Structure 1
Amino acid sequence: MTTVHTSVVVPCFNESEVIEAFHKELVGALEPTGTAFEICYVDDGSSDRTRAHLGQLAAADPRVRYTSFSRNFGKESAMLAGLRMSAGDVVVLMDADLQHPPHLVPRMLELHRHGYDQVVAQRDRTGEGAVRTALSQAYYRLVRRFMDVEVIDGAGDFRLLSRRAVNALLALPESNRFSKGLFSWIGFDTVTFTYTNVQRAAGSSKWGGRRLLNYGIDGLLSFNSRPLRMAIHTGLWLFLSALAYALWIIANVVLDGVETPGYATLITAIVGLGGIQLATLGVIGEYVGRIYHEAKRRPHYVIRETDETATATPQELVREAVSSK
């Protein structure tokens, strides 16, 4: 059996319009390198013909492997499944929409040969709207300030990982996975290079505003407990402010004999404190919800079929997903 040097993991969700063009371009970029490679596609419960296309690619090319989920479990689960499938000494993670240019993979392999365990392709903001750019930059500034790991603006999932880096990622047991943070958390020698942002070759982005917002919240809560610490600080600050205000009112009454009207102040305090309490409860609820999901120990995904077995029973597929955790 030929030893695989490079595994390329490609999560797919409704990419039937572009998957064949992507595959052709990726193979064209990998073959000149002279390395033994495999391409591991993960269909994340697509509703179009993505799974059928992957089956055809696997039948036509022995270097192609694929796994198809029973429903959409999300990109984090798809990347995890791909990492578990991979057999190469190095693993390249990339998207199928050609926004991650395949011609950059040989450059990543070359940098890996210089001893780096992670090679990160960082996109610039070319062609991106001004509002989205401003919001993204503000988010990453917030992340750098509050998270316990470093997340670089523009450094996403397009990266090369050595086998020991992959093994470190697979050893992490959490259900609520935020890969950008996990990549930074495991450490190892890392190098970054920048490439020009590329528009999708076909179809539309699966990342709308609400989904991006939820993903950003996941990132902030996954790697620190500072929101809870901020709630404590806010409570102490409000207590001291209320104490100072009470002392000021008492001093006014003692010195001037004036009763300070307090209706507007009272209403403002009630509304402000109520909002802070609700926000704090929401933060606590997010952490409790994460504990709840971790405690259930459900598998990250359920497999519908793979290129190795498309006829396994649902019970066998669930057991496979559980045993791979």
Structure 2
Amino acid sequence: MAKLISIVTPCYNEEGNVDELYRRVADVMAQQPYDYEHIYIDNCSTDGTIEKLRALAAKDKRVKLIINARNFGHIRSPYYGLLQSRGDAAILIASDLQDPPEMIAEFIKKWEVGFKTVLAVKPESQESPLMFFIRKTYYRFISRISEVQLIKNATGAGLFDRIVIEILRKIEDPYPYFRGLLCEIGFPIATVPFKQPRRQRGVTKNNFYTLYDIAMLGITNHSKVPMRIMAMCGFLLSILSLTTAFGFLIAKLVFWDQFQMGTAPMLIGLFFFGGVQISFIGLLGEYIGSIHTQVRNMPLVVELERINFDQT
């Protein structure tokens, strides 16, 4: 009996791309000696995406559809979709076609030689040069402070052996930083480099908030360095403040009539230390928010409907 490959595609308002994605995935898998299922998980789209996915599922029983009760975000929904796969390997591929489906063949080749995890990486991209620079800078920063070695410029697309999926099921993380979890698991990771094309249809769902969300999740879930920097900086600043205050006191006592304290140094010091405190409190809040998310133990996704999962 042939092994089964599960293709998992998260969707949100991608009516212009899902048909082409389906065709291109089918073309790639037709050249492979494996059976496959294509799981679409829709994040409560408001355009015609769901109707198109229903039509695909009606004509091809390999297409399986999960419709979320609401939009559960760009982190939880793809992860949940992977956990619903039943293949010997699961492949995550985006619906916007910026991760070309043709990479699936390369993922499978790496898997066949023994890799449990294969990730797509984009050393170059046709996206905005500014955004690409910001992403590269972030990955360089997070790699330096993380307690595990992360894969730079990984897009999230890739192949994950059933063993990896089973480990992820046991972790039960309600808000996971997926790329970090893969590195924490510890299996050697193969990479497939590619040049990311521009989006041809539809509008990107990434904005400043979603990118900030991913960035902070990577920091708070996989590094204690910022917390320790805050503690050390706080200690050093307190010493500096006490030393400066003591110096001003001595100067005033020695030169009582000539030395004027003035308001300028006090205002500068007040605003400086106030800004430092606010920054540190904000970062501390990110860690507390991460803890809050974990202890609530909310489900990754609540399903409204699933289609074709009773098919063998």
**TM-score if structure 2 supplies the norm length?**
0.92
Quote the residue 1:216 is aligned against: 215
Could you tell me which runs of 5 or more consecutive residues in structure 2 were left unpaired when the two chains were aligned: none
In 1, Cα distance between equivalents of 2:109 and 2:203: 32
CA contact (8 A) 1:4 1:87 kept: no
Matches within 5 A, 1:159-308: 159-253=158-252, 258-308=258-308
Distance 1:154 1:209, change over 3 A: same
In 2, Cα distance between equivalents of 1:99 and 1:50: 18
Amino acid at match of 2:306: T
CA contact (8 A) 1:176 1:222 kept: no
1:223-244 CA-to-partner distances (Å, cap 9, x unmatched) read 1232222221111111121233
Quote the residue 2:147 is aligned against: 148
In 1, Cα distance between equivalents of 2:285 and 2:194: 39
Distance 1:180 1:260, change over 3 A: farther
Which deviates the most, 244-253 or 139-148?
244-253
Amino acid at match of 1:70: A
Give the superposition deviation at 1:260. 4.4
Distance 1:129 1:80, change over 3 A: closer
1:16-55 CA-to-partner distances (Å, cap 9, x unmatched) read 1110111001100111112111111101111112111111
Which deviates the most, 171-180 or 66-75?
171-180
Which deviates the most, 168-177 or 33-42?
168-177
CA contact (8 A) 1:16 1:49 kept: yes
1:169-226 CA-to-partner distances (Å, cap 9, x unmatched) read 2211222211121121112121112112112231111102232123212221121232
Give the superposition deviation at 1:161. 0.7
1:62-93 CA-to-partner distances (Å, cap 9, x unmatched) read 21111010111012222222122211111111
Quote the residue 2:70 is aligned against: 71
Amino acid at match of 1:280: F
Quote the residue 1:317 is aligned against: none
Which deviates the most, 126-135 or 174-183?
126-135
In 1, Cα distance between equivalents of 2:244 and 2:262: 11
Matches within 5 A, 1:86-165: 86-165=85-164
Could you tell me which runs of 5 or more consecutive residues in structure 1 were left unpaired when the two chains were aligned: 311-325
Over the residues paired in the alignment, what is the CA RMSD in angstroms?
Answer: 2.0
CA contact (8 A) 1:25 1:102 kept: yes
Count of equivalent residues: 309
Give the superposition deviation at 1:117. 0.6
In 2, Cα distance between equivalents of 1:101 and 1:39: 15
In 2, Cα distance between equivalents of 1:248 and 1:71: 60
Amino acid at match of 2:205: K
Identity %: 26
1:105-157 CA-to-partner distances (Å, cap 9, x unmatched) read 11211111111111112123232323222212221222122222333332121
CA contact (8 A) 2:98 2:196 kept: yes
Give the superposition deviation at 1:251. 4.7
CA contact (8 A) 2:63 2:308 kept: no
Quote the residue 1:38 is aligned against: 37
Distance 1:82 1:149, change over 3 A: same
Which deviates the most, 207-216 or 112-121?
207-216
**TM-score if structure 1 supplies the norm length?**
0.89
Distance 1:52 1:282, change over 3 A: same
Give the superposition deviation at 1:4. 4.7
Q: With CA pairs under 8 Å and 6+ residues apart, which has the higher RCO, 1 or 2?
A: 2
CA contact (8 A) 2:4 2:88 kept: yes
Which deviates the most, 133-142 or 37-46?
133-142
Amino acid at match of 1:61: D
CA contact (8 A) 2:136 2:153 kept: no
Amino acid at match of 1:263: T
CA contact (8 A) 2:10 2:77 kept: yes
